[in-house]
C-alpha cells in the first residue's frame, strides 16, 4: 500500500469521525435545549398523568355500574381509553420542538451554530422519536397496570400481560405513540406555526374518528381507510380489522408509513431550502 493511499484512507477516517462527532454534538445541543425548558417536563408529564388518570377513572366508573351493563366490556380495550390524551399532548410536544424556535427566532441561532441542516433535522427527529417512544410505552403500560388493579378491586374481569391481545395492544399503542408527534414536528417545520402544526396533526388524528360513523360505507372503505390514524389503528388494535374504515394490518402499516415518510420528507426538503 502506497503512502498516498494510506494518507487518503486516513483523511476519510478522520472525516467520518468528525461527522460523527459533529452529529453527537448537535444531538447533545438539541437535547440540552429540550431538557432546560420547563415546558418539556410539563407537557410530557401532563400527557402521562392525564392518560393514566383517565383510564383509572373510567375503570372506577365501569366497576361501579357493572350491574347495569347490557353486554361485555373488554378489560384490555377499556384500560387504553386514556390514550386519547397521550396522543393529543405528545403530538403538541412534537410540534413545539420546532415551532417555538421559529416563533422566538432562535432557529437562526441554531443554524448559525450548526450550518449543516441535515444534522439539525436528524437530531430533532431522533429526539422526538426516542422521547415519545419512552413516554408512550411508560404511559400504556401504566394505564394497563392501574386499570387492571381497579378492575380487580371492583370485581370486573381482568387481563394480564401474558394475554396475546393485551401485549399486542399495550406495546403496539406505546411503540406507535411517536407517530403523530413526528408528524406534528414535520407540520411545525413545514408551516412554521404552532397553531397550524397542532391543528393539522390533530385534525388528521381525530377528524376521521369524529365523522367516520356519519359517512357512507364506501367513503369509509376508500377514503378514511387511507388516512394515517386509521392505518395506525389497523396495526395496533386487532379487533377492528373487519370494520370498513380500517385495513388489514400489513396494509395499514404501509399506509401509515407512506404518510410518515411523505410528511417527514416534505419537512426535510422545506427545511433544507427555506431561510430560517
The alpha carbon of 27 is separated from its chain's Cα centroid by a whole number of angstroms, namely 19
Is residue 18 a part of any domain in this protein? no
pLDDT at 261: 95
CB 230 within 8 A of CB 207: no
- Condensed to tens digits (0 to 9), the pLDDT of residues 181-194 reads 999 999 999 999 99
Q: Which residues contact 114 (CB under 8 A, 6 or more apart)?
A: 22, 26, 29, 120
Residue 10 lies in a domain: no
Provide the residue range defining the domain that includes 150.
23-273
Count CA atoms within 13 Å of residue 229 on its CB side: 21
pLDDT averaged over the chain? 85
Confidence of residue 14 (pLDDT cuts 50, 70, 90): very low
Q: Grid coordinates representing 225? A: 381507510
Lowest-pLDDT choice from 86-100, 196-210, 256-270:
196-210
pLDDT at 208 over 80: no
pLDDT of residue 219: 75
Task: Tell me whether residue 9 is in a domain.
Answer: no
7: in domain:
no
Among residues 147, 149, 148, 143, the alpha carbon closest in space to that of 171 is found at 143
Tell me whether residue 15 is in a domain. Answer: no
Residue 37: other Cβ atoms inside 10 A: 14
Q: How many structural domains does the chain have?
A: 1
Q: What local confidence, expressed as pLDDT, does residue 162 receive?
A: 84
108 vs 252, more confident: 108
Whether residue 1 lies inside any domain: the answer is no
Q: How far apart are CA 268 and CA 98, in angstroms?
A: 12
pLDDT-derived band at 68 (thresholds 50, 70, 90) equals confident
Residue pair 262/180 in contact by the 8 Å Cβ criterion: no
Domain assignment present for 105: yes
The model's pTM is 0.84
152 falls within a domain: yes
Amino acid at each position: 500500500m502506497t503512502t498516498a493511499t494510506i494518507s487518503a484512507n486516513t483523511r476519510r477516517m478522520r472525516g467520518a469521525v468528525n461527522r460523527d462527532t459533529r452529529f453527537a454534538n448537535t444531538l447533545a445541543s438539541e437535547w440540552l435545549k429540550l431538557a432546560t425548558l420547563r415546558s418539556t417536563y410539563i407537557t410530557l408529564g401532563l400527557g402521562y398523568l392525564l392518560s393514566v388518570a383517565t383510564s383509572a377513572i373510567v375503570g372506577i366508573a365501569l366497576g361501579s355500574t357493572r350491574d347495569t351493563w347490557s353486554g361485555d366490556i373488554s378489560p384490555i380495550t377499556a384500560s387504553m381509553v386514556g390514550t386519547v390524551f397521550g396522543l393529543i399532548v405528545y403530538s403538541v410536544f412534537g410540534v413545539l420542538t420546532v415551532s417555538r424556535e421559529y416563533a422566538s427566532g432562535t432557529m437562526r441561532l441554531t443554524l448559525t451554530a450548526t450550518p449543516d441542516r441535515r444534522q439539525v433535522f436528524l437530531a430533532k427527529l431522533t429526539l422526538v422519536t426516542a422521547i415519545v417512544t419512552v413516554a408512550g410505552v411508560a404511559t400504556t403500560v401504566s394505564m394497563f397496570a392501574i386499570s387492571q388493579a381497579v378492575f380487580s378491586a371492583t370485581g370486573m374481569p381482568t387481563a394480564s400481560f401474558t394475554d396475546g391481545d393485551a401485549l399486542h395492544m399495550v406495546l403496539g399503542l406505546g411503540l406507535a405513540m411517536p407517530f403523530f408527534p413526528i408528524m406534528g414536528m414535520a407540520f411545525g417545520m413545514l408551516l412554521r406555526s404552532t397553531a397550524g402544526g397542532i391543528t393539522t396533526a390533530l385534525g388528521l388524528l381525530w377528524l376521521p374518528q369524529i365523522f367516520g360513523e356519519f359517512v357512507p360505507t364506501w367513503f369509509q372503505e376508500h377514503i378514511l381507510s387511507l388516512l394515517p390514524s386509521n392505518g395506525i389503528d389497523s396495526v395496533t388494535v386487532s379487533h377492528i380489522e373487519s370494520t370498513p374504515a380500517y385495513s388489514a394490518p400489513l396494509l395499514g402499516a404501509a399506509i401509515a408509513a407512506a404518510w410518515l415518510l411523505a410528511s417527514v420528507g416534505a419537512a426535510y426538503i422545506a427545511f433544507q431550502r427555506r431561510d430560517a
